[in-house]
A and B are shown apart, each in its own frame.
Chain A
Amino acid sequence: MTQVRRFLTNNAVSILFVVIGVLGLRVSGLSLPFFLEDIVNRLARNSFMVLSLIIPVLAGLGLNFAIVLGAMAGQAAIIVVTHWKIPGVGGILLAILLAFPLAVVLGILTGRLLNRARGKEMITTLILGFFSNGIYQLVFLLLVGSVIPMKNDVLVLSSGVGLRTSIDLTGGLKNGLDDLLRIPFPVCAAVTGILLLGVYMVGFFRRRSVRIGKLVGIGVLALFLIGWGLFQVYTRSMFNFVRVPVGTFLIVLGLCVFITFFTRTKLGQDMRTVGQDRHIAEVAGIDSDRIRIIAMVMSTVLASIGQIVFLQNLGTFSTYGSHEQAGMFAIAALLIGGASVAKATIGQALLGTLLFHTMFIVSPLAGRTLFGDAQLGEFFRAFVAYGIIGLSLALHSWKKQMQAREEARRSV
């Protein structure tokens, strides 16, 4: 019984959001296939960014509010590629390549700033995000067209200086990754089921020590997916119109694999060590300053790719707004998945993205049904995002104080 209670308290936030999600779905009156279409695309475009937050947490840098800088690098690259009119996957790959050096430089600068602001990393990344936003606006609103020569009627404002407030990627980069491979949802479900079974079979025979409960659970889930999927295909239901952008998901999967691999490397272990106890790491000979900078660079580069993945799926973006929210929403999503300032896993990132965006979709509609005003739903949404971050930060700080007090008591 206590195991159940412990599970509930440890995952209280995520469970709360599952409840909100389910209730919201009922109240909003949204049909399941429409919801699925939306959530599948949101998962595809947002997961990458959320995953890029894991590495700084590993290295003890807390929540990296400065992934905004990576997002800006990605956006800048997209603007350039769109200006050069290079479409499709090629354009996307070029954008990733272009964003890379910029992201590295920004990551190094951020890392060095954080090394100076020891103990205040999170507030520094927060303010740095705002500051860079100002610089970004300066460059793209005032310098483009005047100091930086750019003649493009589509992108640039009629005055000749500054980019338009919204850029449409249709015909260019839009869906470049998504369109690589689209498969109807039920088929995906079935295939996932088969793969799940396969992976766990292999794991079971290799290690022989998998818990029975876990095995049965996975097995049931897999069979359900396969069964449901095949049934939907057979009945040609509405679900078949939900087409999953497998190409994009494969990229996300690639990142998951990379992160898993990375935690098993020497560098990954050093990062974990620095994150656990910086002083002991230094005494053991690890250059913690350098490790922290590497963590920042990795996160910024991943964020730049993440923003490119995000925008190619969305298709249009608000030149001066998209990157701002990128950081905040990604962090809120990570926290909702059960992560904290000190610990974040891939599972939490993915679960959090699912839950956060469910709430995102559902709030305005629920607001309209409950209060007659969709706007209220949006306020609620913002309140939840900010509130969850504030709450998580407060809890983390409180826990740290409690821990310090416990240690003092124990040394006695």
Chain B
Amino acid sequence: MLEHLLTKIRSFGIPRIIIILFLLSLWISAAFLSIPFPALLSDTFVRLGMNTVLTLSMLPSILVGTSLFFGLPLGIICGLLGGVMSIELNLKGLTAFFAAIGFSIPLAILVGYGYGLLLNRVKGSEMTVGTYVGFAFVSLMSFGWVTLPFKNPEMAWAIGKGIRVTVSLEGRFSNVLNKLWAFELYGVKIPTGALVFLGVMCLFMGLFLRTRTGLAMQECGMNPKFAKASGINVDRMRILGTIISTILGAIGILTYAQGFGFLQLYEAPMYMGFIAAAAILIGGASLKTAKISHVIIGTFLFQGILVVALPVANTVATLGSLAEISRIIVSNGIILYALAQKGGNE
């Protein structure tokens, strides 16, 4: 009986249990400190809507065998470019949002293709190379934000060249999804539009994984030798997986931005890959396998912790950076744990 229980616990994952317990204890502390629970839950749902697609971008990369998608900054930048173009064309509301996505997808396909070619040459080191290519690209793009000829006064610096570090989406597509079909339930505000959007994305992903191509992709990640013996071109599948991850990254940042209310340029995308990676790992994924349920559960847990940690910590010690610090510790800690698992040698 005990043996059985122990094996169940181990397969569920000790870190996952720690995280869930941590979240529960934070919720309980919040209750004790009279922090309004409905507000916490509303915030969590909003953040769920904002971040899930970014976490989802990790999925194709893991499934096709290229591990965690640390090249996420590349996809993010494509999305940001789309957003900026949408503002430049003076679009508003949902149209602006979907146009931004529309602009960013071809970019993401191009960038994803190039990045995929690179990853095929560095099999075994996808994560390390991806990290630094991501960093370098962000720095290069910082160059770009300053030099690209965007004229819209909302975005540009008053004096000097280039776009501002953060671009407000007020009046553009800020909160377009969050406010869409939103309703309240016992004081909890539910951002239905955002949740529906992420639901649709997850649905598409799920359907794709049930197609012939989706199956082929998963075979590549599970056992490349089997895939090759079945006539699948593993290298081409890896590129496809990378492209899909990049596209999801682009869509993901736009979903995030609409909830946040701002487009964050320059150095902001640098560490987002680690956050998304941590989220999917918390949800139960490993470097080699992942499911859509992991994406949703993981984002919920991760964001849940961040949402509740801030007010709880503020009553203990008034320091705003606790959120940032706990994010660093938790996200990197979980990735470290995943890396230290034996089995999964490159």
Contacts and interface: CB of A to CB of B under 8 A. Distances in A.
Interface stretch (B3-11, B96-104, B138-146, B226-234): B138-146
A118 B340 CA distance: 8
A134 interface: yes
A383 B133 contact: no
B128 A393 contact: yes
Contact of B121 (A120, A133, A394): A394
Nearest to A145: B317
B89 interface: no
A135 B344 CA distance: 27
A245 to B, nearest CB: 32
Given A130-B328, A141-B321, 12 more contacts: A116-B342, A119-B345, A123-B127, A124-B336, A131-B336, A141-B319, A376-B147, A383-B136, A383-B143, A397-B124, A398-B121, A401-B121
A280 interface: no
7 contacts: A120-B344, A130-B328, A379-B146, A390-B132, A394-B121, A394-B133, A401-B123
Nearest to B274: A130
Interface of A: 113, 116-120, 122-124, 126-128, 130-131, 133-135, 137-138, 141-142, 146, 159, 161-162, 371, 373, 375-376, 379-380, 382-383, 386-387, 389-390, 393-394, 396-398, 400-401
B184 interface: no
A142 B319 contact: yes
B113 interface: no
A398 B274 CA distance: 24
A294 to B, nearest CB: 20
Interface string B314-346: 000111011001101100110110011010111
B25 interface: no
Interface residues on B, range: 35 or more
Interface in B137-170: 139-140, 142-143, 146-147, 160-161
B340 to A, nearest CB: 4
A134 B332 contact: yes
Contacts of B124: 119, 397, 400-401
A126 B131 contact: yes
B122 A380 contact: no
Given A394-B122, A400-B124, A134 B129 contact: no
A135 B329 contact: yes
A48 to B, nearest CB: 24
A113 B128 contact: no
Interface of B: 118, 121-125, 127-129, 131-133, 135-136, 139-140, 142-143, 146-147, 160-161, 271, 274, 317-319, 321-322, 325-326, 328-329, 332-333, 335-336, 339-340, 342, 344-346
Contact of B339 (A117, A134, A400): A117
Most buried by B among A387, A390, A401: A390
Given A134-B329, A373-B146, A400-B124, A383 B129 contact: no
A131 B118 contact: no
B317 A161 contact: yes
Among all A-B residue pairs, the 7 with the closest Cβ atoms: A390-B132, A134-B328, A131-B332, A383-B139, A134-B329, A386-B136, A397-B125
